[in-house]
Each structure stands twice: as C-alpha cells, then as structure tokens.
Amino acid sequence: MKTKKSALGRGLSAILESPDTDITSRDISGNYVAGAIATISLDKIEANPFQPRNNFEQEALEELAASIKTQGIIQPVTVRKLGYDKYQLISGERRFRASKLAGLDAIPTFIRVANDQQMLEMALIENIHRENLNALDVGISYQRLIDECKITIEELSERVGKNRTTVSNFIRLLKLPPAVQIALRDNRISMGHARAIINIDNEAVQLQILKEIFDNQLSVRQVEKRAKEINGTSKMPVKQKTTLPEKYKRAKGELSVQLETPVEIRRNNKGKGSIVIPFKSENEFEKIISILGK
C-alpha cells in the first residue's frame, strides 16, 4: 500500500514532525490549541471573508499546485479557531486554493486567536507584502486598513514599513476613473503611467491620455510631459464668452442677407463692439460700399 505524501515541505516536515519540536499539542477535548502548528483537513477550514485580493490567476495557481505536489507546502497557512474543530483562514489564500487543486486532504497551519479587526489587519498586511500584488490591490488594501481598522496614514506607514508619501501615492490611485483603474489592474499600464494621469484634473482628458497610451505605446516620461502641457494650458485664464443680445443677432442676420456676405458683430458687456464685414475681392468690396452708400 502506497503511503500518502505529507503536505509539508521536506525540510519543514523533518522539523515540525520531530518529537522534540512538535508543538501541535491538543487540549483535553482532542482539539488543537491556539498557538499550535498543526496539519488540518481542508474541509475544516473556511475561506477568509476579509481576503483583500480577489484575482488569482489560474495559471499561477496551477503552477503552485504542481510545486506543492512535488515539494509540499513550504510555508504553513495561518488560521484562527472558530469553535469545535472549525477554523478560518487568516492568510495564505493562494496556498489554500493551490492545495485543493493539488488534491491534498490536509495542510499545515499556524493556529492563532484573532478578532475580526486583527484578522483583517493581518490579512491585509500579509497581502500587501506580496511581490506580485498589483498597485491597485495595494491601494485598496491601504484604504481598507484606514477605513476598517481605523488607523491613520502615519500609523499605516509604520505598520507596512513604507514612508507616508508612498502610501499616499497608492491610495490616490483609487481616485482614477474606472477604465484607468482596470488598465492598471490588468497591467496594461504601469503605476508610473497612472500617477502621471492622476495629475490631470479633467476625467475626459484622463481617458483620452489612456487611449493615447494604448494607441501610441507612450512611455511614462511621455505621459508626464503630456500632463504638464495639459495642466499648463488649463491654468491659462479663459475669457468668458459674451452672449450677443437678440437685437444684435437680428441685425447680424439682416446685414448678412443685404450685403450677401457673413457679417460678424462683436459686443462686450459694457456695450462696446464692432461690425466686421469680410470681402474676398476688390469687386466684392466695391459692391459692399455701393450697397452701404445707398
């Protein structure tokens, strides 16, 4: 009869399953105690409702599952105890899902005690430190830590080991239009592109720049230059257009018909203005003079 392979990695298995280092002690009821490292059945572990990461690439999960089949799980997942023989995942969602794909029945776990806020904070912070997490997911995680864990940006920067400016830059990404956020999430643009776009105040222009990035393969430096040009233009004073009173509009139409040329009447808010009568040739000029002289 073939012996079933342990879910633990070879090196970790030798340490954790040694009688000298085993801390998977059970209480008098036979349940694992909090603080223990234990191999727990997958069907006794429920997913983390606070999981901040929604997108798990199937190909990456399958690669991890193949690795688990060969090497076992190198790093145990972390769970919290819910009650009698029931546990909830705190962190390690990818390992949990990949273990199911690999056909494992049980996985090694760290057992912790955590209330909902602590659990959310641990899950978010653990997720933030993943190298393959996209910038938008990091921004969402930062914002959730601020909103749901009631901490300031300063406290957040200390907990994640990043300076305040870096944290703020990630959070600002959430102010981008949905189309830009999706492009960032799907790695069609970089965080550098997104940071340049966010400096433009007009959403329609932001979306136009996004299209230009796709159509012309613009670099981050090129987008930054475009943003500066647009911002420089938008800061120029815009003259307020004066609405021409109705009697001037009627006069403009009558003159245009009479002179057989489009007449332009300009008038400012103080009542001053001008009448512009264009002509295309010497003959047309003479004709206009002739009509006006009548």
Instruction: Catalogue the active-site residues.
Output: 93
In 3D space, the residue among 135, 136, 112 whose CA is nearest the CA of residue 122 turns out to be 112
- List beta partners, residue 218: none
User: Where would I find the H helices in the chain?
Assistant: 10-16, 58-71, 93-101, 116-128, 135-148, 153-160, 164-172, 178-185, 191-197, 203-216, 220-234, 246-259, 282-292
In 3D space, the residue among 30, 101, 106 whose CA is nearest the CA of residue 61 turns out to be 101
For 55-117, strand residue ranges (E) read 77-83, 86-91, 106-112
Copy the structure tokens of residue 241.
């257009």
d(CA 240, CA 251): 23
